[in-house]
Amino acid sequence: MERVRFVVPYKKIKTILEHSDGGRALLEPHRLLVRKALNEKVSHDGEDVLEWLHDTVTRGTYRKEFFLNIEHLTRDAKGLLFWKEHLIGRFMLSNDEKDRETAQRLAAHCRDLEAKGFTISSRALLSPEILQAPADTPWKQALYTYAMFLTKADRVRVAFWAKAGKAVVMLERQPEGEVLCSMTQGDASQALQNVLDKEGFKCEYAGDYATFERLIEKSGLTPTDIERALAVK
C-alpha cells in the first residue's frame, strides 16, 4: 500500500525559516526536512515534525541539542541516529554509560571517515574494511559496493551490489585479460547461492582491509573495471 504523503503549506515553512535564521539554527535532520518540504510532499511523520518545529521556533523554545551532548550527533523520536545530515542507524537506549561509550565511538568513526573523505553511512560504520582503509585507497567504490568474494583455486570472482542493492553484478578477469561481467536481478541472494552450489565457488568475506586488498588485487580487477560495470541504469 502506498503511503499517504502531505504538502506542507509554504507559509508554515516560511515561518520556520524566518524564526531559525534561514534554517541555520536548526539541527541538520530538521534543516533537511524543511528543505525537502519546499520541493516535495512529506510523510505523515515528516508533517508531524514540521508542525512541532513550527510551534517551537515561533515560541522560541526550540533548542539545538546534540545527542548525549556529542557534537554533530542527533537522534530523532523514532530512535534514528544521524551524524550531521547522514542517517547512520537506529540507536536503542539501555544503559546511559554504555550508550555514551557507544555513541562516542560512533562519533569518532564518523570523524575519521570524514577526515579520509569517505561517505558516512551505516555500512561504513559496520565495515572494518572501510574503517581501516587508508585515505588514498583506490578501492573506495569497491569497498562500499562489494557483496562477497567468490573463490575457486586461483580464480577470484567478485560480486557487487548494484541498483541500490536490487541487483548483483559479478566480475571476473579471464586469463586472456577480458573481464567477464554478468548481472542478476530479482532474488540476488539466490543468484549468489547458485554460483556457490552449481559452479563450485566458495564464499569469502574480507573482515578487514588487508584481506580485502589482497583478494581484490588477486582478482586482477581495476577500479576502472568496477566503475564501468556499476555504471548501470
Tens-place pLDDT, residues 52-99: 889 888 888 777 778 888 888 887 666 778 887 788 887 776 667 778
- The predicted model scores a pTM of 0.73
Instruction: Report pLDDT for 31.
Output: 87
Whether residue 198 has pLDDT greater than 70? yes
pLDDT in the model for residue 219: 96
Nine-digit cell string for 225: 573495471
Flag whether pLDDT at 26 surpasses 60. Answer: yes
User: What value does the mean pLDDT take over residues 122-136?
Assistant: 95
Task: State in Å, rounded, how far the first CA of the chain is from the last one.
Answer: 26
Rounded Cα–Cα distance for residues 231 and 3 (Å): 30
pLDDT of residue 3: 45
Q: Which range among 7-16, 115-124, 151-160, 193-202 shows the weakest confidence by mean pLDDT?
A: 193-202
Count of beta carbons in the 10 Å neighbourhood of residue 71 = 9
Pinpoint the alpha helices (H) of the chain. 10-18, 28-39, 44-59, 96-116, 122-126, 128-132, 140-145, 188-199, 209-219, 223-230
218 pLDDT band, cuts 50/70/90, is very high
pLDDT for residue 177: 92
Taking the C-alpha atoms of residue 120 and residue 85, their distance in angstroms, rounded to an integer, is 10
